Amino acid sequence: MVSRVIPVDPFDLVIFGGTGDLARRKILPGLFRRFCAGQMPDESRIIGAARSEIDDDGYRAMVRESIREFGGVSEEQEASIDDFLGRIGYEQVDATGEAGWEALAARMTEDRVRAFYFSVGPSLFGALAERLHSYGMASAKARIVVEKPFGHDLGSARALNATLAQHFDEEQIYRIDHYLGKETVQNLMAVRFGNTLFEPLWNAQYVDHIQITVAETVGVGGRGGYYDKSGAMRDMVQNHLMQLLCLIAMEPPARFEPNAVRDEKLKVIRALDPVDPHHIVRGQYDAVGSEPSYRTDVEAPRSTTESFVAMRVHVSNWRWAGTPFYLRTGKKLRGRASEIAVVFKDAPHSIFGVDKGRHANVLSIRLQPNEGMTLDVTIKEPGPGGMRLVEVPLDMTFADALGPDAEAVPDAYERLIMDVIRGNQTLFMRGDEVEAAWAWTDPIIEGWQSRGDVPKLYDVGSSGPEDALMLMHRDGRKWREIRA
Binding site for ligand NAP (CB under 6 A): 16-23, 50-52, 93-96, 119-122, 124, 147-149
Do residues 79 and 105 touch, judged by C-beta distance below 8 A?
A: no
Which pairing describes strands 337-344 and 207-215: parallel, antiparallel, or unpaired? antiparallel
Residue with Cβ nearer ligand NAP (180 or 272): 180
DSSP 321: T
Do residues 341 and 245 touch, judged by C-beta distance below 8 A?
A: no
CB of 298 vs ligand NAP, minimal distance in Å: 16
Backbone phi and psi for residue 230, each to the nearest 5 degrees, phi listed first: -105, -65
* 3-state secondary structure at position 100: coil
- How many of the other CB atoms lie within 10 Å of CB of 264? 17
Backbone phi and psi for residue 285, each to the nearest 5 degrees, phi listed first: -75, 145
Alpha carbon 365 to chain centroid, angstroms: 14
Residue with Cβ nearer ligand NAP (148 or 192): 148
Q: How far apart are CA 294 and CA 362, in angstroms?
A: 34
CB of 359 vs ligand NAP, minimal distance in Å: 38
Which pairing describes strands 88-92 and 45-50: parallel, antiparallel, or unpaired? parallel
* Amino acid residing at 29: P
- Please list the residues that pair with 11 across neighbouring strands: 113
Sign of the Cα torsion 368, 370, 374, 376 reads negative
CB of 409 vs ligand NAP, minimal distance in Å: 20
Residue with Cβ nearer ligand NAP (338 or 378): 338
DSSP secondary structure letters along 355-415: GG-----EEEEEEESS-EEEEEEEEEPSSSSS--EEEEEEEEEHHHHHGGGGGGSPPHHHH
Catalytic status, residue 240: yes
CB of 181 vs ligand NAP, minimal distance in Å: 12
CB of 90 vs ligand NAP, minimal distance in Å: 10
CB of 117 vs ligand NAP, minimal distance in Å: 9
Question: Which residue number places its CB atom closest to ligand NAP?
Answer: 20
Residue with Cβ nearer ligand NAP (230 or 463): 230
Residue with Cβ nearer ligand NAP (79 or 159): 159
Backbone phi and psi for residue 283, each to the nearest 5 degrees, phi listed first: -135, 165
Residue with Cβ nearer ligand NAP (238 or 374): 238
Q: Which of 240, 314, 349, 473 is catalytic?
A: 240
Give me the active site residues, please: 240
